[in-house]
Structure 1
Amino acid sequence: MRRTVRLLRAAGRHAVLIAVAAAMLFPVLWALITSFKPANDIYGTDPVPWPASLEHYRVALDDFPIARLLVNTFLMAAGVTLAQLAVGVLAAYALVRFHVPLRGWMMGALAVALVVPTQSLIVPHFLMLAELGWRNSYPGLVLPQLSGCALAVLLLHEHVKAIPPGLLGAAALEGATPWETLRFVVLPLLRPALGAVAVLVFISTWNEYLWPLLAAPARDHTTIQVGLQLFQNQEGPNPGPLLAAAMLSTLPVVVVYLLASRRVADAFLHSGLR
């Protein structure tokens, strides 16, 4: 009897999770299906695009600078990811390895920074950008987004803290400098965590809209999220090519996440373990 009750409860939980997942995936699936429909069938009631057409993808690739927008987005996301990893590793290692005054207050400030929306920093970031003349440039897209590195620092700090102190002490006894300890001992042990943090930062930066809209509004320097508005004309949006471009813009993120989804889950599951 108890086993039956447990099975029914597990089935109920899985049914709820499946329903929630289906509700979240339905808009994406509908957009994918519609992107393969011919232009005269987009607003039709038939859910199956038959015969399937690549017309919208051809228009998106030939008539709009999709390749340039994707390259700009990739360079921005990769630049922010590498910069946040560098800051996160150095900050986490310094907080664990050295005596830092007010370390507890610093960790508290990092935790508070997680709940501060980055949009609240738009005005000072934009003023700094205009003063430096970095509008429509890659440094202007990348560097201000380092203000959101609190999550990277906290996650990497927990993983560095989980490294046995005796291992770091043994490296010091062998004559290794702090930089050598970081390079040859800490970094190899942090590879799974670095991969997980890189995926999280890359995906969140790839989906950024507001900052690229302000920092790089020019057509040749903006990102794919902002560039999707190019598919609107005086008559209104062009839904077919717009959906095709939206599907193309999701491919890099999907590939990156599928390659490292296990590391993302592992980073959160083990970030608080000792």
Structure 2
Amino acid sequence: MTSPKRILSTLGVYVILLAAAILTLGPFLLSVMTGLKSPAQFASEDSLALPRPFSLENFTTLLTGPGQFGSAILVTLAMTSVIVIFQLGFSVLAAYAFARIDFAGRRVLFWVYLAGLMVPNIVLVIPLYLMMVELGLRNTFWGLVLPFMFGSPYAIFLLREYFRGIPQDLVDAARIDGAGHWRTLVSIIVPLSKPILATLSLITIVSQWNSFLWPLVITTGPDWRVITVATATLQSQYNGNWTLVMAATTLALVPLVVLFLAFQKQVVRSITISGFK
């Protein structure tokens, strides 16, 4: 029989978890509810009141109006896709070299490169901006993606540690069969590394989809505006129309929510692996 003390302890845990869930999900639910209201209802009723009736006018205005919010979604999707593909590809190559290729100064070079994790991203904004200006890439798509395409210290560190955990016997067997480094990477290392690759893909997608500072600095005007900058612009352009701003916030959240629902196991694994490493 369960003791009263254990029951109270379990109940207290559930109360804390419920409160945490409300605090976490509350802003998102409020965003959706506000986006489905008309400006008149939002101005006249409590902010927690349910939409009556549910209206998609704000979403229609965003996607078909002159603000080019639909274009911002496409730019963000293209930017995220390019960065994920190239960053993962170059990170795999670098991590394999650090993990499986013996060359002079390998450990020193790895730790020097890894020191980039100690540098705050904000410190790199001005040097990167000056480089992009010199290359003529300001306010271009390649100016958005180029600084993030060639791997990242975080991804290379995780991949290197994962690659080093793959049994050496498998690599030796491939070498005996005549496989070189490229064949070993493609046929042995990458297929065995699907969990960590899925993890890094999800982390990169979320971080790039939510990227704000660099797109704000490197782009001007609506041509290459990403969804975070477009949402911030709406707050100044439609200062009193919070229903439109909340509809934009909801549209920005939908792809990430769908991604989470589709890859819940990988998301949990990403938290486990990144926390452990």
Q: Could you say whether these structures have the same fold, taking a TM-score greater than 0.5 normalized by the shorter chain as the test?
A: yes
User: For structure 2, which runs of at least 5 residues remain unmatched after alignment?
Assistant: none
Q: 1:88 touches 1:153 (CA, 8 Å); kept in 2?
A: yes
Q: Mark the CA change 1:12 to 1:112 in structure 2 (over 3 Å): closer, same or farther.
A: farther
- Aligned-residue Cα RMSD (Å) equals 2.5
Corresponding residue of 1:76: 79
The yes-or-no answer on 1:28 pairing with 2:31 is no
Q: Mark the CA change 1:273 to 1:208 in structure 2 (over 3 Å): closer, same or farther.
A: closer
Amino acid at match of 2:17: L
Q: Which of 239-248 and 195-204 deviates more?
A: 239-248
Q: Mark the CA change 1:152 to 1:7 in structure 2 (over 3 Å): closer, same or farther.
A: farther
1:144 Cα offset (Å)? 1.1
Q: Mark the CA change 1:11 to 1:93 in structure 2 (over 3 Å): closer, same or farther.
A: farther
Corresponding residue of 1:225: 228
Corresponding residue of 1:114: 117
C-alpha distance after superposition, 1:16-70 (max 9, x if no partner): 2332221122111111111111210113215211221112112112213122100
SS in 2 for 1:42: helix
Number of aligned positions between the proteins: 274
Corresponding residue of 1:87: 90
Question: Could you tell me the percent identity over the aligned residues?
Answer: 32
C-alpha distance after superposition, 1:153-193 (max 9, x if no partner): 12212221121110011000110011000011111111221
Q: 1:36 touches 1:52 (CA, 8 Å); kept in 2?
A: yes
Structure 1: distance between partners of 2:237 and 2:125: 30
User: For structure 1, which runs of at least 5 residues remain unmatched after alignment?
Assistant: none
1:272 Cα offset (Å)? 8.7
Q: 2:95 touches 2:160 (CA, 8 Å); kept in 1?
A: yes
The yes-or-no answer on 1:163 pairing with 2:163 is no
Q: Mark the CA change 1:255 to 1:109 in structure 2 (over 3 Å): closer, same or farther.
A: farther
Q: What is the TM-score with the length of structure 1 in the denominator?
A: 0.90
Amino acid at match of 1:221: W
Structure 2: distance between partners of 1:211 and 1:36: 31
Structure 1: distance between partners of 2:274 and 2:171: 19
Corresponding residue of 2:135: 132
Q: What is the TM-score with the length of structure 2 in the denominator?
A: 0.89
Corresponding residue of 1:142: 145
Structure 2: distance between partners of 1:189 and 1:235: 50
Q: Mark the CA change 1:261 to 1:76 in structure 2 (over 3 Å): closer, same or farther.
A: same
Q: Mark the CA change 1:78 to 1:193 in structure 2 (over 3 Å): closer, same or farther.
A: same
Q: Which of 112-121 and 124-133 deviates more?
A: 112-121
The one of 98, 102, 124 equivalent to 1:99 is 102
C-alpha distance after superposition, 1:77-113 (max 9, x if no partner): 1111112101211111111111144444445445543
